[in-house]
Structure formats: structure tokens, C-alpha cells
Amino acid sequence: MPSASSADSDSGEPVPSAPSSLWRDADFRRLWVGQTVSQLGEQACTVVLPLFAVLTLDAGAGQLGALRAVGQAPLLLLSLFAGAWVDRWPTRTVMVLTDVGRALALGATGVAGLLGLLGLPALLVVAFAVGALSVFFDVAYQASLVRLVEREQLVRGNSALEGSRSAAQIGGPALGGASVSLLSAPIAAASSAMFFALSFLAIRRIRGREPIPGRSQRPARTGRRIHEGLRLVVGDPLLRTVGLASAAFQFSFAAMMTVYLLFLPRELHLSGTAIGLALAATGPGALLGSLLAARLPSRFGHGPVLVCAAVLGDGVLLSVPALHGSSAVTVLALLAVNFVFGTFGQLVNVTVMAVRQAVTPDGMQGRAAATITFAGMGTTPLGSLLGGFLAAEWGLRGSLLVTAAGMMLSPVLMALSPLARLGRVLPASRDAGPTGSSPWIRTP
């Protein structure tokens, strides 16, 4: 596919261009910068809002579970609609609008906090608004890569974008925890809003015209387009397995994280800064995972790498309930656990994304991503509620062990599916039907 940045200045239609370095494409650089700072803001918010509730509002386990569930509810409610919508509109427009919305929501939160009006009800509203806009942004940036770069650059492009997300995981949690501890919740929220504003400034400068598959045809109804995305994922054994494994992981991970965010300050007595640093350790690990994802699947096979990485990444969290106290040894152990989790978790993420994009036709990229997001991330509100319930009824240590063990269902599902048998070469996509595009050549 021609790069969108190579559009002819007179006709506005994309023209073929000679293969070039990915980083020479100005539009890709703008996408990368915007996505990076946007992810940084998202990562900061995942720590700022829960820690504000726990440390400032003295929220209980049930209240924290409800706060996280409200923020994750848009994944269940809006993912399918977002996929159908993104496939019909320029991804640049979607990302710009969602950045503006998130910046305004968090800016208003900062003002309300400074006026002494920031309470749990306000946090619930902000969490839902930011979560809803993030659903559209995340679907859009995944679909935008396919429209903006050459086919042979997809693997490198995915690695770059996932690497930037990993970099955000380094700075975001640390920034969020430090901001709440050293400054205040209003300033922490305002700092997150600034990242979305910077993302807006970068992405709005994307100039290339996006080739939107099927845009010239008579648009199908939203319900029909959502059904086509569901049919594609359910009918393809690889995509179906990705959706099921994602659902199992995200449900258990959401429950585990709810307990985890209570376990660290209340059971281990860690400060907000220490918590932020511990969570940020997943970032360097994820950077390493991105580098490994560019080499290991093509050497050992995509299936074996997926299963082994999922077992190692999820299994290491089973050691966290054994930790006691707030000593330097405990903090170092958390850093090591999160580093390993980030490394192998990111290896799974990049490899799965490459498989999904490989088997999905052009005109279905947004809907396939949204359908899998719906199947996987849509379970997170229920997981967060379950985590809050278990923490209140069973105690923090036992609940953390049970929820971490539940994450092991994901690699089991992958090991028992055709996904585990994928070799060194990615499979080709199958025909998507009348509203999709023709299959494309698999990536070597």
C-alpha cells in the first residue's frame, strides 16, 4: 500500500513511492510522537485517579473497584461502535478530537480539585469520560498505521509504536505516583491533561490523505458493520483464540490490579512514589520485549514464542503475595517482577498484534481491533469489581494469589489452539467479503 504521506499534491491521490526508512516519513513521526505522549497521559491517569481515591479520599476496596470499573466500562460499551466508526473516518480526525476531549476533562478535574470540589463522584465522571475517549483513540492509532505506511514496514511500525507505549509505561506511573505524593491530585490531573494537549499538537500536523477502504461505496449501517467485524473474529480460528485469550487475561488482570493497588500501600506500606516506581518497572521490560519481538518469532515461530512468553510473564506475578514489609529488598523484588512481566507481556502484545493485522483485510482493521478489544478489555469492569469484592471478603494477600493464578488461563487457551502452531512466517488474510478488501501478502 502506498504511504499516505506520498499523496500527489495536485490530485490528492496517493502515488507509489520507493521503499524508504520508516523514520523518514514525516507523518509516521508525527503519529509516533502523538501516540507516545498520549499513552504517557493515559499511564499517568491509571495511577493518579486510583491513588487519589485511596490516599486522599480513603476509598475502600469496593469503592476502588467501582472507580476502576467505571473507567473501564467504555471498553465494553463502546469498542464495537468505535471500530465501525473508525473504519469510515480519517484516523487523524478521531485522534485529534479524543485528545482535545481528554485534555478538557482532566483540566476541569484540576480546576475542581483546586476549588475543593473534587470528590469520588467527580472522579467517577472523569474516569468514564477519559476511558470512553481512550477507546476511540486506541482503535484509531492501531488502524492508522495500516493506512500510513508501506506493507513491508508494518512490523517495524508496530514495534516502534509498541516501544513508545513501553516508554510511556516507564514515565507514566512514576509521574502519576510522584505527582500525587509530592504535589496534589489537582496538579497531577492537570499534568496529565498537558500530555493530551501535546498529542493533539503533534497529530493534527499529519498531512497525508488516508486511503480509507470502501469510503467511496455506499456506507453500510453501523449495526451491519459491527456484525461483519464480529463474524470475522468469530469465524477465524486465530482471531477467535486471540479474543478468548485476551478476555481471560484482561478479566483476571483487572481483578489482580484492583487488589494490587490496595496491597502495595496497605499491606506493604509503600509510598505513592515507591508504588509509581514499582509499576514503572514494566516500562523498561516492555522496551526489551519490543526488541525481542522483532527477532524471536521469526527464529522460533510465532506460536511457541506466544505461549512461552505468556507463561513466563503471567507466572511471575504469582510471587508477589509472598512479599512482606516495605524494605529496599521488597521494592527491588517488585521492580524485578514488574520488569519480567513487562518484558514477556510486551513480547506477547507485539506478536499478537502482528498476527491480527496479518490475517485481517485492510477494510476490517478497525473493526477487528475493536472486536478483540471488546472481547478482551470489555471484561475488565467485571474483573475490577470482582477484585474489590475479593479484597473485602478474602483479604488482600489471598485475593492477590487467586487473581494472579487466574491469569494463567490465557496461555493455556493459546497452547490448546491453532495459535500455538504458528510458524516463523505470518499467515495471509482471508477474504473479508463485499465490504472488505482482498487478502494481502503475508509479512516475511
pLDDT digits (tens, 9 = 90+) for 79-104: 777 777 777 778 888 899 999 999 99
Q: Over range 46-59, report the average pLDDT.
A: 74
**Which residues have a Cβ under 8 Å from the Cβ of 65 and sit 6 or more positions away?**
258, 384, 385, 386, 387, 388, 389, 391
State the DSSP code for 217. S
Long-range Cβ contact pairs of 327-330 (< 8 A, separation 24 or more)? 330/268, 330/270
Please state, in angstroms and rounded to a whole number, the distance separating the CA atoms of residues 20 and 63.
52
Please state, in angstroms and rounded to a whole number, the distance separating the CA atoms of residues 378 and 393.
24
pLDDT over 60 at 216, yes or no? no
Please state, in angstroms and rounded to a whole number, the distance separating the CA atoms of residues 43 and 57.
21
pLDDT over 70 at 413, yes or no? yes
Q: What pLDDT shows up at residue 408? A: 94
pLDDT over 60 at 288, yes or no? yes
Q: Over range 317-326, report the average pLDDT.
A: 87
State the DSSP code for 76. H
- 14 backbone dihedrals φ, ψ, rounded to 5°: -70, 140
Q: What pLDDT shows up at residue 344? A: 92
- 33 backbone dihedrals φ, ψ, rounded to 5°: -65, -50
How open is the CA angle 228-147-85, to the nearest 5 degrees? 40
Quickly state the pLDDT bin for 341 (edges 50, 70, 90). Answer: very high
Q: What pLDDT shows up at residue 8? A: 38
Are the C-beta atoms of 59 and 69 separated by less than 8 Å?
no
**DSSP code per residue over 395-428:** -HHHHHHHHHHHTTHHHHHHHTSGGGG--SSPPP
Q: What pLDDT shows up at residue 47? A: 78
Please state, in angstroms and rounded to a whole number, the distance separating the CA atoms of residues 333 and 323.
8
Q: What pLDDT shows up at residue 438? A: 27
Please state, in angstroms and rounded to a whole number, the distance separating the CA atoms of residues 129 and 86.
18
Q: Could you tell me the sign of the dihedral formed by the alpha carbons of 6, 9, 13, 18, in that order?
A: negative
Neighbours of 33 (CB within 10 A): 17
User: 3-state DSSP call for residue 7?
Assistant: strand
Q: What pLDDT shows up at residue 115? A: 77
Q: What pLDDT shows up at residue 19? A: 39
For residue range 230-265, list pLDDT tens digits in order: 888 888 888 888 889 988 998 999 899 889 888 888
425 — alpha (psi -120 to 50), left (phi > 0) or beta?
beta
User: 3-state DSSP call for residue 361?
Assistant: coil
User: 3-state DSSP call for residue 128?
Assistant: helix
Buried b (16+ CB within 10 A) or exposed e, 70-80: bbbbbbbbbbb
Position with higher pLDDT, 437 vs 345: 345
Q: What pLDDT shows up at residue 129? A: 92
Q: Over range 153-175, report the average pLDDT.
A: 67
Chain mean position to CA 432: 25
The burial of 265, by beta-carbon neighbours within 10 Å (0-12 exposed, 13-18 middle, 19 or more buried), is given as middle
Residue 293 C-alpha cell reads as: 519481538
Q: Over range 210-227, report the average pLDDT.
A: 62
Give the percent of the chain with pLDDT over 90. Answer: 17
Whole-number average pLDDT of the chain: 78
